[in-house]
């Protein structure tokens, strides 16, 4: 399908029913929230199971428990999850409203009017101003720049902060800013249907009886920011959900974590076990009914239809499914949701994750994936704007075999340049970039002494580039740069006295040490990813023809004249040194050209440009021909400033056994260079393999060969484990709790009766034991955050799922079975044929139930206390307070007053007061608690002392160092050496040479004020050495304890 859009005609466009510019990233609205959210929640096995259970409990013939024992926890789970989901979606709505209510200037009724983004329609003409977001996908009509050019930043779309050029059709660029002419514009665009291809667009503009082809260069996409352009006008082609940005965003999906999936699997297993158990008990009931039950039927007044033993077994099966329902851990889901919510607030409140420069805190945009932070194995990171600031700074250079950029100390040793050194006082202070600093005064001395090689080197930097210059209203020289690398080099030349002033399609004017010099631009040999170099051919005022070139050393060195052998060797060593420091390098060279030779070459170039076949190949061949026998001048070294903390973060992640993938559209050399700069790649690595296959078979074969060549050992270390580890421990504790509370049923005359009071069953998970579990899950930490950072190996259990897996689950099931047996048979044996202290018989059902329930609450609370490593006031209140709440509710429900109001619901009148006032009952409770907890204590004691985990070792060391911890020493920074490798990196796009020589980007008038290159300084530290030493010291200190094996 195709799209037809007419400019300035809403009525015409409305008949196509195109989407408006309102966006929706939220999942729900008021009407759809309840059905969609319930549908999502009942995809959880436990929720679906309890819904079926509730339906079964409404059938009197099989219901052994009242309906409220199921509906109360189920409603609580559903409600809390719904509140959390609604909160998440509220913030999505809030974000949508912020975007939809942004203002934009729209041409309506021949006037520019402020309109909200959501009210913008397809076909509208919009005015954009500098540094403004683009409201919709627009066809560029005109701009303040020559020939309808404009510059946009596409960081929101592709992460790149390099400016992209868009240019309007010549027929529309003539409209300029004339509102009347723009209002009369009635062109019709026929184009492709909405799609998610960011780099492609096909369409035709029909206007004034002529048709004009449209491509991606004529389109400004929503999400872009207008840069270095005073204003532009555009026609809306795609709006709202039809824009390419929204087409790529996808639909918000309901995400489940690996723990959620594992819990669903375990719940299915538990449910299967419950079914098997119900079948076994139903068969036993049928056998009992057929052999023994017949003797009681006369006295029980059964109906004829109920006398079948098979039917009795069928009904009993469903009764047991209801009675034993608590083995399915529905409360686990509640606990997990609450803990996730608590952890998300901790993330939002974390001061160490607060970015003070922009007053931006961390923000957990979803509360469903928190524990995944402790299970990460791979990180996929963008390069630009994530690892680096994309701000280039000229740091060092090599000119004619001499390095500039180092300051010798008193012992004539090379030292690192720091801010304490006095910066160079540049020759032309009035035109120098005040943010640029250089500390090696030797370069300025060489310039002042008139060193011809130094002058020629700086001349290349000032001439060989695609930078555009302009002056702002204050008369300050401003550079518009497509590549930050070029900006750094041209700025460096400017500060050293070789100032790029202006250019036309035929000339380049620079100021050389105060003298204006205009060079005739004869040819521009543009950069591309294959050539990896850029050259300009100019004629100087003396009539000499010069070729100036810069590019990758691996390419440019092959083009050098044989007489450069000695200088080549020196410069290669310098490049290795620069690359070892993580700097981006370019080689600089030049060549004198004979006038006759150039004319012949230029004639062949013109013929190649006019060719219809093999045009690119012929041009490339001519470029190769003239770019030979070059004379080497030296090399540049530019620092691509890393984001603050990148080196530390990457090192920690690597030590944490997290594999890092950096995604970048840059050249291979750039990627390798950044890898070394941020310590993803180090010189300690024996081999760095480049996989360059173009299909799956080639890549697989190259990986196989690389694997065969690999040597050394893998490092399995980790960091930041607390979130996942404690989350997984919580899952196990909760499952134990659920297993423990599986009800026992007393068989009385063929019918079942639960041991526990029905109100106890209802309140156990949601009142008596919920808060201690939540306190441990939210606040507990096995080791301190600093020790977690010092010993990154702690992250590994989360990656390997060592703390919550199927094996651990079965161990917990066995633990729960043992505890259940102890809770039942110890009171049962103690009560068997026993009289109370008052001489009365106490082996009654109600006293037995109260004793078991009290023992259970105390056992669970003690178990939680044993599992808690980090005690807070809240932990104490929740654990011991839960026991107090249990006794308060117990005595209330067994009181005479509530029995008088609800006699059918609270039949245990006076039992708690009668039972818990006897010493023998408390002895039974104490014995049951000790028998339940003692094996756990003994097992953990032996395990910690004989087979301690790393976490156990650190806890022991942490306690030993708690009172007096020695300060960690810092190692002095050392210069990182490097084996010979190319540090070439040049962030540049092909096509700018043609744009310059065509003159389309030349400005006729002084432009409005625009911002120049922003520069911030990054001060690296020896954090890596400190971390490695600290980790080594920490592990060594564990090894001093002979009972601990690491």
Residues annotated as part of the active site: 382
Q: What is the DSSP letter of 765?
A: I
Give residue for tokens 């409990």: 57
Q: Pairing mode, if any, of strands 203-207 and 188-192?
A: antiparallel
Residue of 541, 492, 535 whose CA lies nearest to 515: 541
3-state secondary structure at position 236:
strand
- C-beta separation of 21 from 124 below 8 A: no
Residue of 471, 472, 536 whose CA lies nearest to 508: 536
**CA 864/CA 875 separation, integer angstroms:** 10
For 373-514, strand residue ranges (E) read 378-382, 388-399, 402-404, 407-408, 414-415, 468-471, 477-480, 498-503, 507-512
Element holding 522 (H helix, E strand): strand 515-525
**CA 804/CA 798 separation, integer angstroms:** 9
- C-beta separation of 1037 from 662 below 8 A: no
Residue 432 is encoded by which pair of tokens? 């120098």
- C-beta separation of 465 from 499 below 8 A: no
- C-beta separation of 963 from 642 below 8 A: no
Residue of 583, 591, 678 whose CA lies nearest to 636: 583
CB atoms within 10 A of CB 361: 13
Residue 572 Cα to chain centre, angstroms: 39
- C-beta separation of 903 from 889 below 8 A: no
Element holding 776 (H helix, E strand): helix 770-779
CA 139, 142, 143, 145 dihedral sign is positive
Query: Residue 642: what are its φ and ψ, rounded to 5°?
Result: -75, 155
Residue of 820, 838, 824 whose CA lies nearest to 913: 838
Residues 89-98, buried b or exposed e (16+ Cβ, 10 A)? beebeeebee
Residue of 739, 839, 725 whose CA lies nearest to 793: 725
CA angle 47, 780, 812 (to 5 degrees): 50
Burial class (CB in 10 A: 0-12, 13-18, 19+), 431: middle
- Phi/psi-derived region of residue 707, left when phi > 0, alpha when psi is between -120 and 50, beta in every other case: alpha
CB atoms within 10 A of CB 688: 14
Distance between first and last Cα of the chain: 66
3-state secondary structure at position 537:
strand
In angstroms, what CA-CA distances link 153 with 102, 180, 731?
19, 29, 47
Residues 641-670, buried b or exposed e (16+ Cβ, 10 A)? bbeeebbbbbbbbbbbbbebebebebbebb
Burial class (CB in 10 A: 0-12, 13-18, 19+), 954: buried
């Amino acid at each position: 399908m195709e799209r037809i859009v007419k400019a300035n005609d809403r009525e015409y466009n409305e008949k196509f029913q195109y989407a408006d510019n309102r966006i929706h990233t939220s999942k729900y609205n008021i009407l759809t929230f309840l059905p969609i959210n319930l549908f999502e929640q009942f995809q959880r096995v436990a929720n679906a199971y309890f819904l079926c259970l509730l339906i079964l409990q409404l059938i009197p013939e099989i219901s052994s428990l009242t309906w409220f024992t199921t509906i109360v926890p189920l409603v609580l789970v559903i409600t809390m999850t719904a509140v959390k989901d609604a909160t998440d979606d509220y913030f999505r709505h809030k974000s949508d409203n912020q975007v939809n209510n942004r203002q934009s200037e729209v041409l309506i009724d021949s006037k520019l009017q402020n309109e909200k983004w959501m009210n913008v329609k397809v076909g509208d003409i919009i005015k954009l101003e500098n540094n403004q977001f683009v409201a919709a996908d627009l066809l560029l009509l005109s701009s303040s720049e020559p020939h309808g050019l404009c510059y946009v930043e596409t960081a929101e779309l592709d992460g790149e902060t390099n400016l992209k050029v868009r240019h309007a059709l010549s027929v529309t660029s003539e409209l300029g800013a004339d509102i009347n002419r723009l209002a009369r514009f009635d062109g019709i665009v026929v184009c492709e249907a909405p799609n998610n291809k960011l780099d492609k667009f096909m369409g035709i503009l029909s206007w004034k009886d002529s048709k004009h082809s449209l491509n991606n260069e004529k389109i400004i996409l929503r999400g872009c920011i207008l840069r270095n352009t005073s204003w532009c006008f555009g026609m809306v082609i795609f709006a709202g959900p039809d824009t390419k940005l929204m087409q790529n965003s996808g639909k918000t999906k309901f995400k489940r974590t690996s723990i959620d999936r594992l819990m669903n699997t375990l719940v299915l297993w538990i449910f299967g076990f419950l079914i098997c158990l119900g079948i076994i008990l139903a068969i036993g009931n049928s056998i009992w009914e057929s052999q023994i039950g017949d003797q009681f039927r006369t006295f029980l007044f059964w109906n004829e239809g109920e006398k079948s033993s098979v039917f009795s077994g069928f009904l009993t099966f469903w009764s047991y499914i209801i009675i034993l329902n608590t083995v399915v851990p529905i409360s686990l889901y509640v606990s997990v949701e609450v803990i996730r919510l608590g952890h998300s607030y901790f993330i939002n409140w974390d001061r160490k994750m607060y970015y003070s420069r922009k007053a931006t805190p961390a923000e957990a945009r979803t509360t469903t994936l928190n524990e995944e932070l402790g299970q990460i194995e791979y990180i996929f990171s963008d390069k630009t704007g994530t690892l680096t600031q994309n701000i280039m700074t000229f740091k060092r250079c090599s000119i004619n075999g001499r390095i500039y950029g180092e300051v010798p100390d008193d012992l004539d040793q090379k030292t690192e340049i720091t801010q304490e050194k006095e910066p160079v006082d540049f020759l032309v202070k009035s035109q120098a970039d005040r943010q640029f600093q250089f500390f090696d005064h030797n370069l300025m001395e060489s310039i002042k002494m008139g060193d011809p090689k130094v002058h020629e080197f700086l001349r290349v930097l000032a001439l060989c580039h695609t930078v555009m210059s302009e002056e702002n209203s204050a008369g300050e020289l401003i550079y518009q740069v497509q590549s930050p690398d070029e900006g750094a080099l041209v700025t460096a030349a400017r500060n050293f006295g070789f100032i790029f002033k202006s250019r036309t399609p035929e000339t380049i004017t620079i100021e050389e040490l105060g003298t204006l010099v205009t060079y005739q631009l004869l040819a521009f040999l543009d950069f591309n990813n294959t050539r990896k170099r850029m050259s300009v051919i100019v004629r100087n005022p003396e009539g000499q023809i010069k070729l100036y070139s810069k590019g990758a050393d691996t390419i440019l060195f092959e083009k050098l004249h044989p007489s450069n052998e000695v200088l080549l060797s020196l410069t290669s060593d310098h490049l290795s040194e620069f690359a070892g420091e993580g700097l981006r390098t370019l080689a600089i060279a030049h060549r004198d050209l004979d006038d006759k030779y150039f004319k012949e070459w230029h004639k062949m170039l013109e013929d190649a440009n006019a060719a219809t076949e093999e045009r690119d190949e012929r041009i490339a061949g001519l470029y190769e021909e003239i770019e030979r026998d070059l004379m080497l001048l030296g090399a540049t070294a530019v620092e691509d400033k890393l984001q603050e903390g990148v080196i530390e973060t990457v090192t920690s992640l690597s030590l944490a056994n997290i594999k890092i993938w950096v995604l970048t559209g840059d050249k291979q050399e750039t990627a390798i260079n950044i890898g070394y700069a941020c310590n993803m790649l180090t010189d300690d690595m024996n081999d760095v393999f480049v996989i360059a296959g173009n299909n799956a078979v080639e890549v697989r074969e190259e990986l196989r060969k690389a694997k065969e060549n690999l040597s050394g050992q893998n490092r399995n270390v980790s960091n930041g484990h607390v979130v996942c580890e404690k989350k997984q421990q919580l899952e196990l504790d909760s499952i134990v709790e659920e297993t423990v509370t599986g009800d026992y049923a007393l068989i009385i005359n063929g019918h079942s009766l639960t041991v526990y009071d029905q109100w106890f069953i209802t309140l156990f998970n949601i009142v008596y034991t919920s808060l201690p579990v939540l306190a441990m899950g939210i606040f507990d930490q096995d080791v301190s955050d600093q020790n977690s950072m010092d010993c990154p190996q702690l992250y590994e259990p989360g990656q390997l799922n060592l703390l919550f897996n199927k094996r651990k689950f079965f161990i917990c099931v066995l633990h729960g079975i043992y505890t259940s047996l102890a809770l039942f048979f110890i009171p049962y044996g103690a009560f068997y044929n026993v009289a109370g202290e008052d001489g009365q018989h106490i082996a009654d059902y109600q006293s037995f139930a109260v004793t078991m329930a009290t023992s259970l609450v105390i056992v669970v609370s003690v178990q939680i206390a044993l599992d808690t490593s980090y005690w807070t006031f809240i932990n104490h209140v929740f654990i011991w307070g839960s026991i107090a709440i249990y006794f308060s509710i117990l005595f209330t429900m067994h009181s005479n007053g509530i029995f008088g109001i609800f006699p059918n619901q609270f039949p245990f009148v006076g039992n708690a007061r009668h039972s818990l006032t006897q010493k023998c009952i408390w002895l039974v409770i104490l014995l049951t608690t000790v028998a339940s907890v003692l094996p756990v204590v003994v097992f953990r004691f032996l395990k910690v002392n004989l087979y301690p985990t790393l976490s156990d070792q650190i806890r022991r060391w942490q306690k030993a160092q708690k009172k007096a911890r020695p300060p960690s020493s810092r190692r002095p920074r050392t210069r990182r050496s490097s084996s010979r490798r190319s540090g070439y990196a040049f962030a540049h796009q092909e096509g700018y040479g043609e744009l310059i020589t065509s003159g389309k980007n030349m400005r006729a008038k002084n432009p409005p004020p625009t911002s120049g290159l922003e520069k911030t300084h990054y001060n690296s530290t020896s954090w890596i050495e400190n971390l490695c030493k600290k980790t080594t010291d920490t592990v060594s200190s564990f090894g001093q304890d002979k009972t601990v094996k690491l």
